[in-house]
Amino acid sequence: MSWDPRNQGNEKDIEEVIRQAKSQFESIKHRGKGLWTLVVLVLVIGIGALTSAYTIQAGHRGVVLRFGKFAGVVSPGLHFKIPFGVDRVIDVHTEKVETETFGFRSANAGVRGKSRKDPETANESMILTGDLNVIDMEWIVQYRRQDPRKFLFSIHDPVQTIRDISETVARQIVGDRSFDYVLQNREEVNRIFQDDLQEILDGYESGIKIVSVRLQNVVPPDAVKSAFNEVNEAQQEKERLINEAQETYNREIPKARGEADRIINSARGYALERVNKAKGETARFTDVLKEYRNAKEVTKKRLYLETYREIIPKAKNVYVVDSKQKTILPMLDLDKLGSKSGGEQ
Residues 208 and 103 in one domain: yes
Detail the DSSP E strand segments found in the chain.
53-56, 60-66, 69-74, 77-80, 87-93, 98-102, 105-106, 115-116, 126-128, 134-145, 208-219, 317-318, 332-333
pTM attached to this predicted model:
0.56
Within this chain, do residues 235 and 304 fall inside the same structural domain, yes or no?
no
Domain that holds residue 284: 224-294
Buried b / exposed e along 121-133 (16+ C-beta atoms within 10 A): beebbebebeeeb
Q: Is residue 263 part of a domain?
A: yes
Q: What pLDDT is recorded for position 310?
A: 80
**Residue 24, domain member (yes or no):** no
Is pLDDT at 106 greater than 80 in this prediction?
no
pLDDT interval class at 231 (50, 70, 90): confident
pLDDT at 332: 52
Under the banding of pLDDT at 50, 70 and 90, the label for residue 188 is very high
Do the Cβ atoms of 72 and 95 come closer than 8 Å? no
Asked if residue 215 and residue 102 are part of one domain, the reply reads yes
Residues 231 and 204 in one domain: no
Q: Report residue 33: phi and psi, to 5°.
A: -60, -40
How far is it, in rounded angstroms, from Cα 202 to Cα 209? 9
Reported confidence tier of residue 177, pLDDT bands at 50, 70, 90? very high
Q: What pLDDT is stored for residue 73 in this prediction?
A: 92
Are 145 and 168 spatial neighbours (Cβ–Cβ below 8 Å)?
no
Percent of the chain with pLDDT over 90: 40
Average pLDDT over residues 64-70: 90
Measured CA distances, 182 to 171, 179, 197, 327 (Å): 12, 6, 17, 105
| Cα–Cα distance measured from residue 40 to residue 43, given in angstroms and rounded to the nearest whole number | 5
Task: Tell me what pLDDT residue 133 has.
Answer: 86
Contacts 24+ apart (CB under 8 A), 158-164: 158/206, 158/208, 159/98, 159/100, 161/201, 161/204, 161/206, 162/100, 162/201, 162/208, 163/100, 163/102
Same domain, 304 and 261: no
Beta-carbon contacts of 342 under 8 Å, excluding residues fewer than 6 positions away, are 312, 313, 318, 332, 334
Please check whether residues 236 and 209 belong to one and the same domain: no
Mind listing the pLDDT tens digit for each residue in 122-164?
888 899 999 888 899 999 999 999 999 999 999 999 999 999 9
Which DSSP letter does residue 55 get?
E
* Burial status of residue 141 (CB atoms within 10 A of its CB: 0-12, 13-18, 19 or more): buried
Q: Work out the angle between the directed axes of helices 158-175 and 186-203 (0-180°, nearest 10).
A: 130
Q: Is pLDDT above 60 for 64?
A: yes
Least confident residue range of 58-72, 203-217, 276-290: 276-290
Chain segment 288-331, per-residue pLDDT in tens = 878 778 887 887 788 888 887 887 777 776 666 666 666 655 55
DSSP 75: -
Task: Examine residue 51 and state whether it is found in any structural domain, yes or no.
Answer: no
Q: How many CB atoms lie within 10 A of CB 71?
A: 17
Please indicate, yes or no, if residue 237 is contained in any of the structural domains. yes
β partners of residue 126? 136
What integer pLDDT is reported at residue 3 of this predicted model? Answer: 40
pLDDT band at 180 (very low <50, low <70, confident <90, very high): confident
At 257-281, the pLDDT tens digits run: 999 999 999 999 999 999 998 988 8
The CA distance from 43 to 27, in Å, is 24
* Number of structural domains the chain divides into: 3
pLDDT level of residue 110 (50, 70, 90 thresholds): very low
* C-alpha radius of gyration, the chain, whole number: 59
- pLDDT one-digit tens code per residue, 235-253: 889 999 999 999 999 999 9
Bridge partner list, 137 = 218
- Does residue 281 fall inside a structural domain? yes
Percent of the chain clearing pLDDT 70 (strictly above)? 75
Distance between CA 139 and CA 193 in Å, rounded? Answer: 10
Compare 275 and 6 and report the one with higher pLDDT. 275
Read off the pLDDT of each residue in 95-105 and give the average, rounded to a whole number.
92
Q: How far is CA 142 from the centre of its chain?
A: 17
339 pLDDT band, cuts 50/70/90, is: very low
Residue where one domain finishes, among candidates 194, 219, 244: 219
Q: Which CATH number characterizes residue 164's domain?
A: 3.30.479.30
Residue from 73, 43, 34 nearest 56 by CA = 73
Q: Terminus-to-terminus CA distance in the chain, angstroms?
A: 210
Alpha carbon distance 7, 9 (integer Å) = 6
Strand partners, 106: 115
Residues 105, 177, single domain; the answer is: yes
Mean pLDDT, rounded, for 336-342: 48
Name which residue leads in pLDDT, 259 or 12. 259
Boundary residue ending a domain (219, 236, 262): 219
Position 119 confidence tier, pLDDT thresholds 50, 70, 90: confident
Most confident region among 36-40, 78-82, 134-138, 338-342 by mean pLDDT:
134-138
Examine the pLDDT at 32 and tell me if it is beyond 90: no
Report, as an integer, the average pLDDT of 199-204: 95
